[in-house]
């Protein structure tokens, strides 16, 4: 249904290909052998940062299958629950710093990205030795992605525009680098720029 709706109304966003790609990735996510390998990669990538950024550890003595995965139990609160109860601004700021830096490392350093990041896949708890030091734990890593060189540049340029609160530049980048950029009419461009201004600049 979504692909049929997208053909005419949102052709320039290339939604049909994106929906097919998403469906394929969701099917891959059900294979726990893939998730096992992903956990091992993430754990290796973040070895130097494991005091504050962690992933469940896979037990190598218990072989995983496509239906079974043996990993460590991780203690903590779901991100939203933690934020509801933690009122210390320093801890909240530190947690935001950890989350942003973890994602940017995945994206720009490792090019191996957790592609299903949402509050339900993030646990937080405070270090027992340093109770004002949050520890962030990423769960459910079955869905990952890596960017091509051109996609990585596109994302970097867009991220920089958003970080600078430059909605005009962000909208222009998305429009000009869309797969079907030539099919975008002027009215759509104007409307999209207005929506981006509201989203980025408030």
**Which residues belong to the active site?**
116
Q: Are strands 144-145 and 113-114 parallel, antiparallel or unpaired?
A: antiparallel
Contact 2, 22 (CB under 8 A): no
Select from 110, 141, 139, 116 the least CA-distant residue to 38: 141
Q: Which contiguous run of DSSP H or E holds residue 96?
A: helix 89-104
Closest CA to 54 of 69, 43, 41: 43
Contacts of 34 (CB under 8 A, 6+ apart): 28, 142
**Residue 197 in tokens:** 């201004």
Q: What φ, ψ does residue 53 adopt, rounded to 5°?
A: -125, 120
| Closest by Cα among 143, 54, 141, 129 to 99 | 54
């Amino acid at each position: 249904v979504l692909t049929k709706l997208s053909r005419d109304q949102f052709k320039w966003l290339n939604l049909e290909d994106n929906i097919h790609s998403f469906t394929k990735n969701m099917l891959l996510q059900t294979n726990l052998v893939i998730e096992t390998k992903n956990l091992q990669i993430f754990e290796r990538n973040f070895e130097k940062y494991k005091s504050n950024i962690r992933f469940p550890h896979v037990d190598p003595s218990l072989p995983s299958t496509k239906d079974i995965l043996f990993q460590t139990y991780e203690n903590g609160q779901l991100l939203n629950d933690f934020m509801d109860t933690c009122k210390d601004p320093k801890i909240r700021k530190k947690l935001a710093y950890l989350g942003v830096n973890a994602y940017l490392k995945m994206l720009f350093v490792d090019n191996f990205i957790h592609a299903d990041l949402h509050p339900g896949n993030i646990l937080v708890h405070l270090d027992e030795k340093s109770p004002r030091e949050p520890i962030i734990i990423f769960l459910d890593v079955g869905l990952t992605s890596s960017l091509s060189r051109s996609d990585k540049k596109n994302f970097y340029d867009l991220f920089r525009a958003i970080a600078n609160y430059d909605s005009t530049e962000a909208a222009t980048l998305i429009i000009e680098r869309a797969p079907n950029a030539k099919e975008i009419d002027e009215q759509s461009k104007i409307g999209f720029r207005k929506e981006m201004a509201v989203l980025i600049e408030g």
